[in-house]
Amino acid sequence: MGRAFEFRRARKEKRWSKMAKDFVKMGKQLSMAVKQGGPDPETNPTLRVVIQNCKALNMPKDNIESAIKRASAKDAKDLDELVYEGYGPYGVAVLVETATDNPTRTVANVRMYFARAEGALGKTGSLDFIFDRKAVFTLGMEGLDLEEMELELIDFGLEEIFEEDGKAFIYTSFKDFGGMQQELERRKLNIISSELIRLPSTTVELTPDQEEEINTMVEKMEDDDDVLHVFTNMK
């Protein structure tokens, strides 16, 4: 019984740790959104999207409001959005999106994560031919007719729509992100989250042990507070 309790506690602590890191990352996204378009979500669609995604992660309302207030202060630090590209072991392409107030620190850390995994940081733009930027929207299924929506949303850049685990998923190109978000809001649909992702056009197939190595490297990168997202072309 003691072992089972310790296991449950360790698992819970790991979940709490991940949640805390997610909140830090969302706080940075809130800050950048406020800097770009002001603290009012009614007039700042980017902020509106980030708040929506914060709620999807169960980020407390007080945390959201505090982050917006801090970002609105005159002495609030500016954050740079920087993308780092490189290769991990076994020729796996890795793209790292960051938000930082200290680019020197961030690039040093990212380079270290690559090096420790026997990979290498590459030049900006070196992976443009591998990753395509896409927007993905997650909606509640209540009241939705996906066949009907597919026809109606084609004019707004719809590329794919499907249901999985009781939710609807809509994919568009990067350039259609804003237009689709606006149309879904206009229809007053239950948007759970919306985000920009990078999908690989080619993938690398690995053995289970090799996959574990890549996943370990990615986890170390994701544990860094400056790192927002990590994408790979691992199959």
| 119 and 223, same domain (yes or no) | yes
| 63 and 109, same domain (yes or no) | no
Give the residue numbers spanning the domain of 35.
2-72
What is the pLDDT averaged over residues 117-124?
95
Residue in 56, 15, 17, 13 with CA at minimum distance from that of residue 225? 17
Number of domains present in the structure of the chain: 3
| 205 and 125, same domain (yes or no) | yes
| 177 and 165, same domain (yes or no) | yes
| 19 and 47, same domain (yes or no) | yes
* pTM, to two decimals: 0.86
| 116 and 217, same domain (yes or no) | yes
Burial environment of residue 222 by CB neighbours within 10 A (0 to 12, 13 to 18, 19 or more): middle
Q: How far is CA 147 from CA 22, 134, 172, 191, 231, in A?
A: 34, 21, 16, 18, 31
Side chain identity, residue 89: P
pLDDT at 59: 94
Question: What phi, psi does 79 have (nearest 5°)?
Answer: -115, 135
206 strand-pairing partners: none
| 196 and 135, same domain (yes or no) | yes
| 136 and 182, same domain (yes or no) | yes
The residues near 30 (Cβ < 8 Å, ≥ 6 apart) are 47, 50, 51, 54, 64, 67, 68, 71
The CATH number of the domain where 155 resides is what? 3.30.70.980
| 54 and 143, same domain (yes or no) | no
DSSP assignment letter at 141: -
CA distance 77 to 135: 28
pLDDT at 12: 41
| 125 and 206, same domain (yes or no) | yes
| 10 and 30, same domain (yes or no) | yes
CA distance 180 to 136: 10
Model confidence band, residue 77 (pLDDT cutoffs 50, 70, 90): confident
The residues near 176 (Cβ < 8 Å, ≥ 6 apart) are 135, 156, 157
Q: How far apart are the first and last CA of the chain?
A: 39
The residues near 228 (Cβ < 8 Å, ≥ 6 apart) are 25, 28, 29, 97, 98, 99
| 66 and 109, same domain (yes or no) | no
Model confidence band, residue 129 (pLDDT cutoffs 50, 70, 90): very high
What is the pLDDT averaged over residues 151-172?
96
pLDDT at 75: 87
What is the pLDDT averaged over residues 208-222?
95
The CATH number of the domain where 10 resides is what? 1.10.10.200
pLDDT at 17: 55
pLDDT over threshold 70, residue 212:
yes
Burial environment of residue 61 by CB neighbours within 10 A (0 to 12, 13 to 18, 19 or more): exposed
Strands 191-200 and 167-173: unpaired
141 phi-psi bin (left φ>0, alpha ψ -120 to 50, beta other): alpha
pLDDT digits 0-9 by tens, 41-71: 999 999 999 999 999 999 999 999 999 999 9
